[in-house]
């Protein structure tokens, strides 16, 4: 997908982001103490370098967004009303929300976005996920629920507990498109502290297998974002005659 630096278009629903931008969600740590204040940041950007960096492009419009916290018991909390604007400029910065995580266990944050970019004219469908564990001892077993799909149009599913990744090793994920394994899609695992160059990195960029699986070789502690995209030019409708673009991200920490 091409890097796009163009003007914003005002629609009836508000200001749309540029076609091709991704959203992602960040938390400050993969494991926190129960009751410890945690802020979830909702970002928009990494459109530069073919979706292979953490550069911000401004705040994603909330009119066509959902932002949810799913607790250990499956309880869903709508975080959209709690989002705070962290930008001085109306179009700059990002959104953040304080999270209540009183129960110990595994939490996940999910952002979704679905809107029509009229000037493209295309439909943009995005999803972003991250996880953190609250009040969990080092000896506690991993939670199998992390491998279950969330029913998103395009999603990245971690096959290992993403809150327990340490040092060097492999990260395994599975990509589903409309509930089915996505085969032969380019997928990147982007380190925040060591941006990619122009060339592909064979350890951190690959193509999904027939079962939707992908494996990345992590060499150092950092925050990472996995990103994948699908272009569906045949999916057209009123206002988006040029098709639909899907994007999904998964953000996680690798600690020492």
38-73 per-position pLDDT tens digit: 999 999 986 565 667 788 888 999 999 999 999 999
Which residues have CB under 8 Å from 184's CB, separation 6+?
207, 208
Which residues have CB under 8 Å from 25's CB, separation 6+?
40, 41, 42, 43, 109, 110, 111, 128, 129, 130, 249, 251
| Secondary structure letter of residue 193 according to DSSP | T
**Omega prior to 121 cis, within 30 of 0:** yes
Please state the domain extents for the chain: 10-254
Burial of 171 (0-12, 13-18, 19+ CB in 10 A): buried
Q: Could you tell me which CATH number the domain at 10-254 has?
A: 2.60.40.1930
| Whether this model's pTM surpasses 0.85 | yes
- Residue indicated by tokens 């914003």: 8
82-105 per-position pLDDT tens digit: 999 999 888 889 999 999 898 999
List the pLDDT tens digit at each of the 256 positions of the chain.
Answer: 333 332 222 222 333 333 468 999 999 999 999 888 999 999 998 656 566 778 888 899 999 999 999 999 999 999 999 999 999 888 889 999 999 898 999 999 999 999 998 778 999 999 999 999 998 755 455 444 456 899 999 999 999 899 989 888 899 999 999 999 999 999 999 998 877 766 778 889 999 999 999 999 998 999 999 999 999 999 999 999 999 999 999 999 999 8
Q: Is 203 helix (H, G, I), strand (E, B) or coil?
A: coil
| Secondary structure letter of residue 64 according to DSSP | T
């Amino acid at each position: 997908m091409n890097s796009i630096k163009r003007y914003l278009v005002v629609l009836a629903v508000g200001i749309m982001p540029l076609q091709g931008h991704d959203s992602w969600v960040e938390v400050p740590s993969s494991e926190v103490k129960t009751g410890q204040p945690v802020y979830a940041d909702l970002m928009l950007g990494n459109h530069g370098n073919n979706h292979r960096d953490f550069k911000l492009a401004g705040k994603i419009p909330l009119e066509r967004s959902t932002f949810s916290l799913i607790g250990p018991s499956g309880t869903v909390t709508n975080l959209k009303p709690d989002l705070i604007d962290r930008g001085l400029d109306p179009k700059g910065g990002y959104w953040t929300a304080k999270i209540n995580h009183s129960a110990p266990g595994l939490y996940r944050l999910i952002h979704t976005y679905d809107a029509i970019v009229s000037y493209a004219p295309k439909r943009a469908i995005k999803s972003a996920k991250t996880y953190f564990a609250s009040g969990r001892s080092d000896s506690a077993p991993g939670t199998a629920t992390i491998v279950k799909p969330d029913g998103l149009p395009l999603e990245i599913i971690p096959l290992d507990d993403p809150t327990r990744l340490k040092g060097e090793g492999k990260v395994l994920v599975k990509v589903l498109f409309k509930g089915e394994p996505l085969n032969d899609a380019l997928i990147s695992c982007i380190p925040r502290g060591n941006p990619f160059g122009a060339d592909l990195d064979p350890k951190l960029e690959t193509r999904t297998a027939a079962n939707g699986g992908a494996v990345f070789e992590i060499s150092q502690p950092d925050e990472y974002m996995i990103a994948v995209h699908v272009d569906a030019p045949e999916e057209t409708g009123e206002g988006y005659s040029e098709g639909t673009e899907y994007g999904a991200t998964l953000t996680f920490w690798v600690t020492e």
